[in-house]
Structure 1
Amino acid sequence: SGTGLHIDPLWTNAWVTVLQGSKRWVLFPPATPPEPIGMQDPQVPSSIWFSQFYAKVKSPEWPNQWKPVEILQKPGETVFVPSGWPHLVLNLELTVAVTHNYASEFGPFSRMLHEVQSEEPAFAKEWLDTLTRERPDVALLARQSNPIAMDSALKESADSSIE
């Protein structure tokens, strides 16, 4: 089992800690184009990806700037996945892990805001309201980073509450 090649939703970061078993990770730099590495929708299962794409991305001809980072994760180890990094995971045995995705004001903040607004407009409104109350510094950053998306989120949320 595992997960096919993907980028985590809404440009979040993630950490994964293995409690039991082991995982094989392949992560690609964010600038890697999706087509040559087999990133598609629906995802190619990781076991199939290894048979169809792995040899190509490990070949000497593969561009250095797109070379993958490989990790063999064992119990007690934590892997950090930065936002925007395409990655896949193959569980090598029965594996138990804890995963947490989170949004951060550091990194591609404006891109994350755009994703949240376009994918989850009602949540974008709630999120901005909460940021305004709890973290006004980050709310200001959100409005400055992507004012059109934030204004749109507020308008769409207000329009839907009227209906």
Structure 2
Amino acid sequence: MSDIYTELISKDWTTHSNENSLVRYDKLPTYDTFIRECLLKNRPALFTASCGFMDDWSCITEWLNKDRTEPDFDRLINLYGHMTVPVTKCSSTITEYSSDDNKLTMRFDEFVNLWRNNETTAEYYCKDWHLQKMSGETKPLFYSVPTYFQSDWLNEKCLAENEDDFRFVYMGGDGTNTPLHMDVLGTYSWSANICGRKRWRFSKPHSIEFIQEPGDILFVPSEWYHDVTNIGFTISINHNWFNAFNILRIWKHLCATLEDIEHRIEDCRSVMSDTWHAHCQLILQANEGLNFASLYKLLYIIAQRRMKENQDEYKRFDLWMIDKLIREILHHSIFLYAFDLDTFPERPKVLLKQIHSFIEKQKQ
């Protein structure tokens, strides 16, 4: 076993910490360094353009003008003009991130005409656009996922199950913005700036403000609240994701959200009898995109895939953490009350035996 694997499995994962400063990488760190400095400390990081992540991304040449400073609007229309895209209408009177009052859809060519118009450029923001999913998974990505973010259980499961993914494109003009929010489920996110600049403000757990330049990629830790304002014509690629390093935070977030749901509909409990816990789980799934059962099924999919792959220290750590979390889930009485375990692809205790046996064989 390597030093990093031994270090990870000996860590006290019951406590969480957040470092209060932004790590700046002008040269590529090793993956182990990124783990120690950012993932274990839940600390934000900015990979500057000098790291060269985007040097071979096809979207740079396909989406931007010849000097790579602004969008090539006409070419973008030729490529995607026929698609229907999600657009947010930015307004100083709407400050809630999840508000539906300012959301609409339109053809992409209609959006571009609003985007390039000085009178409307600050008002309309194309965001949360599943461009890769809409283009078809058979087409190559117009970018490549940096090594540091490739262990992505959320999108791995979505792609394996042909579900909506958490890979997005954002396009907006000067002044378009995203109000204060925490990313869905308390996930990590990463944001790659193709062109334009972004002003980021983290407000909690710590206050940090900085400008993301073209070519920079930002790592946003779990449960960090932030708001973002675009400066100039901006395009970015964003992923939400989680893996073994923050999965316990995701679990804790689901438990806290469930507790809030139960509190809000407590007055219905007496009339719902045996369906109470199942109903709360349905609301949790609708609100968060995951509940206890779908989280378990995600863990099952990732575990099965890891046990079929060539092993390295990080994949062994994935299995070790999945084992740890399933044991914790089984101690939560609601997991047993709300679901029929016979409907699962594998009963949790059977999966635990498979993982334990696999890990023991790897030690030999």
Q: Indicate the TM-score class for this superposition, using the shorter chain for normalisation.
A: 0.5 to 0.7
CA deviation map 1:65-111 (0-9, x unaligned): x5x2111011100111100111010011221001011102224x323
Task: Tell whether 2:302 aligns with 1:131.
Answer: yes
Match 2:335 to one of 152, 156, 162: 152
Partner of 2:232: helix, strand, or coil? coil
**In 2: Cα distance, 1:153 partner to 1:10 partner:** 22
Task: Describe the shift of the 1:72–1:149 C-alpha distance in structure 2 as closer, same or farther (beyond 3 A).
Answer: farther
**In 2: Cα distance, 1:126 partner to 1:154 partner:** 17
Q: Are 1:124 and 1:150, in contact at CA under 8 Å, matched by a contact in 2?
A: no
- TM-score normalised per structure 1: 0.63
My pick for the range that moved more, 116-125 or 130-139, is 116-125
Structure 2 matches for 1:1-163, cutoff 5 A? 1-30=176-205, 66=206, 68-107=207-246, 109-116=247-254, 118=284, 119=288, 120-121=290-291, 122-135=293-306, 136-148=319-331, 152=335, 156=339, 158=341
Once the 2 structures are TM-superposed, how far is the Cα of residue 12 of structure 1 from its aligned partner?
0.9
**In 2: Cα distance, 1:157 partner to 1:20 partner:** 49
Task: Describe the shift of the 1:14–1:144 C-alpha distance in structure 2 as closer, same or farther (beyond 3 A).
Answer: same
Once the 2 structures are TM-superposed, how far is the Cα of residue 159 of structure 1 from its aligned partner?
8.3
- TM-score normalised per structure 2: 0.30
2:311 is matched with none
Percentage identity across paired residues of the two chains: 27
Partner of 1:14: helix, strand, or coil? strand
**In 2: Cα distance, 1:150 partner to 1:125 partner:** 14
Task: Describe the shift of the 1:143–1:70 C-alpha distance in structure 2 as closer, same or farther (beyond 3 A).
Answer: same
Once the 2 structures are TM-superposed, how far is the Cα of residue 142 of structure 1 from its aligned partner?
1.5
The two structures, once aligned, show a CA RMSD in angstroms of 3.0
Larger radius of gyration: 2
**In 1: Cα distance, 2:343 partner to 2:321 partner:** 25
Amino acid paired to 1:94: F
Q: Answer 1 or 2: higher relative contact order, Cα 8 Å, separation at least 6.
A: 1
Partner of 1:112: helix, strand, or coil? helix
Task: Describe the shift of the 1:146–1:155 C-alpha distance in structure 2 as closer, same or farther (beyond 3 A).
Answer: same
Q: Are 1:21 and 1:75, in contact at CA under 8 Å, matched by a contact in 2?
A: yes
**In 2: Cα distance, 1:94 partner to 1:2 partner:** 12
**In 1: Cα distance, 2:210 partner to 2:330 partner:** 38
Q: Are 1:110 and 1:145, in contact at CA under 8 Å, matched by a contact in 2?
A: no
Partner of 1:95: helix, strand, or coil? strand
Task: Describe the shift of the 1:160–1:17 C-alpha distance in structure 2 as closer, same or farther (beyond 3 A).
Answer: same
**In 2: Cα distance, 1:154 partner to 1:124 partner:** 16
My pick for the range that moved more, 142-151 or 93-102, is 142-151
Q: Are 1:16 and 1:79, in contact at CA under 8 Å, matched by a contact in 2?
A: yes
Name segments (4+ residues, structure 1) moved above 4 Å. 157-161
